[in-house]
Structure 1
């Protein structure tokens, strides 16, 4: 009887040892996954920081382009006004030239 109890206890111990090994393997797998996820999260945070920096640069560049475009629109409007004045003066000059020719 004692032999059977000893044998059963040994089987139980063997079974418990196998279960412990299996649990250790699974725990290590989970731990490895968590470490990988932490590394991925760290990389993502760095990427987000870089993206935020790039967005700031793009905003500043866009603001500069908007100001430059606004200035160009003003310059174009001024040039159109000046051209209209030149056309009016040229027209007046042609009229004066025609009068002078008719006097000859």
Structure 2
């Protein structure tokens, strides 16, 4: 009877081992399937990262072009500001010159008026003596 009991125990253990092995095989299948899905998700993520990288590169190039354009416009604007400053100084000098001309012209008119006054006086004096 000891042999029969031993055989029962061994058979029971074998059944348990087979059941455990079956569970392990199913678990392995489940892990394999999960690994496959993770691989697909990883490929999807890698594809999206590549797309994003290309988009970022495009944006960098576009931003670089925009910055170069802005720099050129700033250079042009700076040259224009320098020209305006130069013209402003020239206008100030011209205004000073015009003021001098006006002053000299006023002095000349004054001198002309004095000369006319003297001439009138001379003519008047000549008329009295005649």
Task: Compute the TM-score of the two structures, normalised by the length of structure 1.
Answer: 0.78
Matches of residues 21-100 of structure 1 in structure 2 within 5 Å?
21-100=36-115
Shift of 1:79: 0.8
SS in 1 for 2:35: helix
Shift of 1:92: 1.4
* Aligned pairs, number: 104
Gaps of 5+ in 1: none
Instruction: Tell me, in whole angstroms, the C-alpha distance in 1 between the residues paired with 2:93 and 2:21.
Output: 106
Gaps of 5+ in 2: 1-14, 121-130
Shift of 1:47: 2.0
- Bigger Rg over Cα: 2
RMSD of Structure 2 on Structure 1 (CA): 2.2
